[in-house]
């Protein structure tokens, strides 16, 4: 057969290597003939279904702020874990966030887990540019909409800001039907960027002098259910300039999360120079009537960036 698509191998590699309580765990991989089956623990709903169980176009339920804070903390903790290892998710949205509840009606003990790493990328992969076809439009950051191709972990942070806002108001914050409509929805709510809010704005590939000039609106009017600390954190997540956008680790340290337990997964930032990249190619061929044989000499499954101390334990991992 033609083998397993590369994007699937990439997702499996990352899921095997990025273990975290708030990332969906890959339990088993099964190969049969030309079919690949992957198994995850059963979770009956997504964050999208929690917010809007009937998919009402006018919106769903506004989550209580304590629950918003809990889910946001879990999401940031998992993404900080990914970013420290040089891994970008690139497609965060409520439909890709699993909600594991002990009770069908109560969210107090619910746990959030990130899923769908199909668009994952390890930062620093030696290629000229990254594709612009990342992140579902409603959660896509302005730098990608403006044509930037050498993006950073800040792309995930903007998406998290959009998810935060959606939990707080019961509906998506921006619902563009095209890239320009999405940009204009962002500008109309957060104000058109200026030299002060985004110094590089006028130099970006998709910049047009004719962009409308919208002014800012009070955040408290947009999100009346959020506390002042919640509004402050949201503004830092939805900062235009990706270089100034708050990181996941710094967001976890924000006073909005005062009283939360110490973050066991937080470690010092890892310089890219101290990380190593391991890559193996993988190709599957039909080995007969009953199964698929993995061809060892063709295995090339990328593992993402790793700290030098982790290379040994990854070197001999055989994902298939």
What would the pLDDT profile of 207-251 be if each residue is shown by its tens digit? 988 899 999 889 999 899 999 999 999 999 999 999 999 999 999
- Boundary of a domain, candidates 232, 257, 282: 257
Residue 80 sits in the same domain as residue 183: yes
- Is 267 part of any domain? no
- Is 263 part of any domain? no
Residue 163 sits in the same domain as residue 215: yes
Residue 32 sits in the same domain as residue 155: no
DSSP H helices, the chain, are 6-17, 47-51, 65-84, 142-145, 154-169, 179-190, 219-222, 228-237, 248-252, 311-315
Check residue 85 and give its pLDDT.
79
- Is 293 part of any domain? yes
For 221, the domain range is 45-257
Contact present, 110 and 100 (Cβ < 8 Å): yes
Average pLDDT, integer, range 59-76: 93
- Is 265 part of any domain? no
Residue 63 sits in the same domain as residue 209: yes
Percent of the chain with pLDDT over 90: 45
Residue 196 sits in the same domain as residue 100: yes
Check residue 160 and give its pLDDT.
98
- Is 1 part of any domain? no
Residue 60 sits in the same domain as residue 169: yes
CATH number at 59 reads 1.10.510.10
Total residues found in the chain within this entry: 320
What pTM did the predictor assign? 0.76
User: Which comes out higher in pLDDT, residue 223 or 42?
Assistant: 223
Contact present, 74 and 80 (Cβ < 8 Å): no
Residue 227: name the closest of 110, 64, 77 by CA: 64
- Is 197 part of any domain? yes
Residue 144 sits in the same domain as residue 291: no
- Is 266 part of any domain? no
Residue 26 sits in the same domain as residue 75: no
Q: Model confidence over 137-178: pLDDT tens digits? A: 999 999 999 998 877 899 999 999 999 999 999 999 999 999
Residue 155 sits in the same domain as residue 303: no
- Boundary of a domain, candidates 212, 232, 257: 257
Domain count, the chain: 2
Q: In the chain, helix, strand, coil percent, each to 5?
A: 35, 10, 50
pLDDT band at 118 (very low <50, low <70, confident <90, very high): low
Residue 231 sits in the same domain as residue 279: no
Residue 173 sits in the same domain as residue 282: no
Residue 113 sits in the same domain as residue 205: yes
């Amino acid at each position: 057969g033609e083998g397993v698509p590369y994007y699937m191998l990439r997702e499996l590699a990352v899921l095997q290597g990025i273990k975290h309580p708030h990332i969906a765990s890959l339990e088993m991989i099964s190969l049969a003939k030309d079919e690949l089956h992957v198994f995850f623990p059963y979770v009956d709903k997504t964050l999208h279904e929690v917010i809007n169980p009937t998919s009402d176009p006018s919106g769903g339920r506004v989550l209580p702020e304590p629950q918003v804070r809990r889910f946001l903390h879990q999401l940031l903790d998992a993404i900080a874990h990914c970013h420290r290892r040089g891994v970008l998710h690139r497609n965060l949205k409520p439909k890709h966030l699993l909600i594991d509840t002990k009770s069908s009606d109560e969210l107090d003990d619910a746990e959030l887990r990130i899923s769908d790493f199909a668009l994952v990328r390890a930062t620093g992969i030696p290629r000229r540019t990254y594709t612009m076809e990342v992140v579902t439009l409603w959660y896509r950051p302005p730098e990608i909409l403006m044509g930037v191709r050498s993006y950073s972990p800040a792309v995930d942070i903007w998406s998290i800001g959009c998810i935060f806002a959606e939990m707080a108001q019961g509906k998506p914050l921006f619902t563009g039907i095209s890239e320009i409509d999405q940009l204009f929805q962002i500008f109309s709510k957060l104000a058109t960027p200026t030299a002060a809010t985004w110094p590089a704005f006028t130099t970006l590939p998709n910049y047009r002098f004719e962009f409308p000039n919208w002014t800012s609106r009070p955040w408290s009017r947009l999100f009346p259910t959020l506390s002042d600390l919640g509004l402050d954190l949201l503004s830092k997540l939805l900062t235009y300039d990706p270089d100034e956008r708050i990181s996941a680790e710094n967001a976890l340290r924000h006073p909005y999360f005062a009283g939360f337990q110490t973050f066991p997964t937080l470690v010092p930032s890892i310089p890219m120079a101290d990380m190593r990249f391991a890559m193996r190619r993988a190709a599957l061929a039909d080995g007969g009537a009953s199964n698929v044989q993995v061809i060892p000499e063709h295995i090339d499954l990328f593992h993402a960036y790793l700290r030098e101390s982790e290379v040994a334990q990854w070197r001999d991992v055989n994902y298939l």
